[in-house]
Structure 1
Amino acid sequence: MSASRRWIIGIAAACVGVLVIALGGLAWWLPSDAQVAARVATEFEQRTGVALRVGAAHWTLRPGLSLELDELATAQKEPITVRRLVLHASLRELLARRIRVDDVEIEGAVFPRASAREFRGRGDGSPAALGAFTMDPVPVGQVRFDDVTWIDRRGIALAYDGRIEFDPGWMPRRAEVSRRGVTPPARLELTREGEGIDRWRTDIEVAGGTWSGTAAVQALPEGNLRLHADLVPRDVDIVGLTSAFGRKTAVEGRINGRTEVMAEGANPIEWWQVLHTRTRFTVRPALLRGFDLARAVSTAGISRGGQTPLDELAGTLDTQGTENGIVLRYTNLKARSGLLTASGSATMLNRKVDGELAVDIVDGVVGVPLKVGGTLDAPELSLTGGALAGAAIGSAVLPGVGTAIGARIGQRMEQLFGDPSPKGAAKKKKRAAP
Structure 2
Amino acid sequence: MTRAGRWITGTAVAVLLLLGGLALLAWRLLPSDEALAAEIGQRFEKASGIGLRIGGAHWSLRPIPVVVLSDLATVQERPITVRRVVVRPQLAALWNRRIAIDAVEIEGAVLPRTSVRAFRGRWQWSDAATALAGAWSPAEVALEHLRLRDVTWIDRRDIGLAYDADLRFDRGWRPREAEVSRRGASPAARMRVEREGEQDRWRVKIDVGGGSWNGDAALRVLDQGRMRLTAQLSPKGVDIAGLVGAFARRNVVEGRIDGQTELETEGDNLGEMVRRLHTRTRFTVKPATLKGFDLAKAVSTAGADRSGQTVFDDLTGTLDTQSGDDGIVLRYTGLQARSGLLTASGSATVLNRRLSGEAAIDLVDGVVGVPFKLAGTLDEPQLSLTGGALAGAAVGTAVLPGVGTAIGARIGQQVEKLFGGEDEEKEKKPPQKPR
Q: Is the 8 A contact 2:5 2:225 kept in 1?
A: no
Q: Report whether the alignment pairs 1:278 with 2:274.
A: no
Q: Whole-Å Cα distance in 2 between the matches of residues 16 and 125 of structure 1?
A: 13
- Residues 1:249 and 1:342: Cα distance change in structure 2 (over 3 Å): same
Q: Which amino acid aligns with 1:26?
A: W
Compute the displacement of 1:361 (Å): 1.3
Most deviating of 329-338 and 359-368: 359-368
Q: How does 1:290-305 map to 2 (within 5 A)?
A: 290-303=292-305, 305=307
Deviations 1:321-358 (A, max 9, x none): 11111111100000111111100101111111111111
Letter of the 1:113 counterpart: R
Residues 368-412 of structure 1, C-alpha deviations (whole Å, 9 max, x = no match): 111111111111111111222222333444444433333223222
Identify the match of residue 412 of structure 2 among 410, 413, 423. 410
| Equivalent position of 1:245 in the other structure | 247
Corresponding residue for 2:49? 49
C-alpha distance in 2 between matches for 1:429 and 1:169: 52
Measured at CA, do residues 343 and 220 of structure 1 come closer, stay the same or move farther in structure 2, by a change above 3 Å? same
Conserved in 2, the CA contact under 8 Å of 1:345 and 1:355?
Answer: yes
| Letter of the 1:25 counterpart | A
Distance 1:17 1:189, change over 3 A: same
Q: Tell me the amino acid that sits aligned with residue 32 of structure 2.
A: S
Aligned twin of 2:142: 139
Q: Does 1:33 align with 2:33?
A: yes
SS at match of 1:185: coil
Distance 2:222 2:431 in 1: 49
Given the superposition, is the C-alpha separation of residues 33 and 125 from structure 1 closer, same or farther in structure 2, using an over 3 Å criterion? Answer: same
Residues in 1 aligned to 2:118 and 2:361: alpha-carbon distance in whole angstroms: 48
Say if 1:228 and 1:262, in contact at 8 Å, map to a contact too. Answer: yes
Q: Say which SS state the counterpart of residue 222 (structure 1) adopts.
A: helix
TM-score w.r.t. length of structure 2: 0.93
Distance 1:10 1:242 in 2: 32
SS of equivalent residue, structure 1 residue 93: helix
Alignment of 1:2-401 (within 5 A): 2-8=3-9, 14-28=15-29, 30-121=30-121, 122-125=123-126, 128-129=130-131, 130-195=133-198, 197-303=199-305, 305-401=307-403
Return 134-143 or 7-16, whichever deviates more: 7-16
What amino acid sits opposite 2:3 in the alignment? S
CA contact (8 A) 1:277 1:319 kept: yes
| 1:351–1:9 distance in 2 versus 1, CA, 3 Å | farther
Displacement of 1:18 in angstroms is 4.1
C-alpha contact 1:18 1:44 (8 A) present in aligned 2: no
* 2:370–2:406 contact (8 Å) kept in structure 1: yes
Cα distance change, pair 8–235 in 1 and its aligned pair in 2 (3 A): farther
> CA 1:429–1:188 in structure 2 vs 1: closer, same or farther (change >3 Å)?
closer
Return the letter of the residue paired with 2:296: A
Structure 2 gap ranges (5+): none
Which deviates the most, 398-407 or 383-392?
398-407
Give % identity: 57
Q: CA separation of 1:117/1:13 partners in 2, compared to 1, >3 Å: closer, same or farther? A: farther
Q: Distance in 1 between matches of 2:335 and 2:379?
A: 20
Deviations for 1:211-269, whole angstroms, at most 9, x for unmatched residues?
Answer: 00001111110322111100000000100000101111111111000111111112232
Cα separation, partners in 2 of 1:236 and 1:356, compared to 1, 3 Å: same
Deviation at 1:429, TM superposition (A): 13
Which AA in structure 2 matches 1:35?
A
- Cα 1:14–1:250 change in 2 (3 A) is farther
Shift of 1:314: 0.7
2-structure distance, mates of 1:201, 1:429: 49
| CA RMSD in angstroms, aligned pairs only | 2.3
**Whole-angstrom distance in 2 between the partners of 1:85 and 1:360:** 60
1-structure distance, mates of 2:14, 2:125:
10
SS in 1 for 2:244: helix
* Partner-residue secondary structure (3-state), 1:125: helix
**Pair 1:10–1:213, CA change in 2 (3 A):** farther
Distance 2:211 2:260 in 1: 14
Distance in 1 of aligned mates of 2:180 and 2:169: 14
TM-score by length of 1: 0.93
How many angstroms apart in 1 are the aligned matches of 2:430 and 2:124?
53
Q: Take 1:46 and 1:205, find their aligned partners in 2: how far apart are those partners? A: 42
- Range moving further from structure 2, 10-19 or 411-420: 10-19
In 2, Cα distance between equivalents of 1:12 and 1:409? 66
Q: CA deviation at 1:304?
A: 5.5
Count the aligned residue pairs: 428
Shift of the 429–119 alpha-carbon distance from structure 1 to 2, 3 Å rule, reads closer
3-state DSSP class of the match of 1:26? helix
* 1:278–1:318 contact (8 Å) kept in structure 2: yes
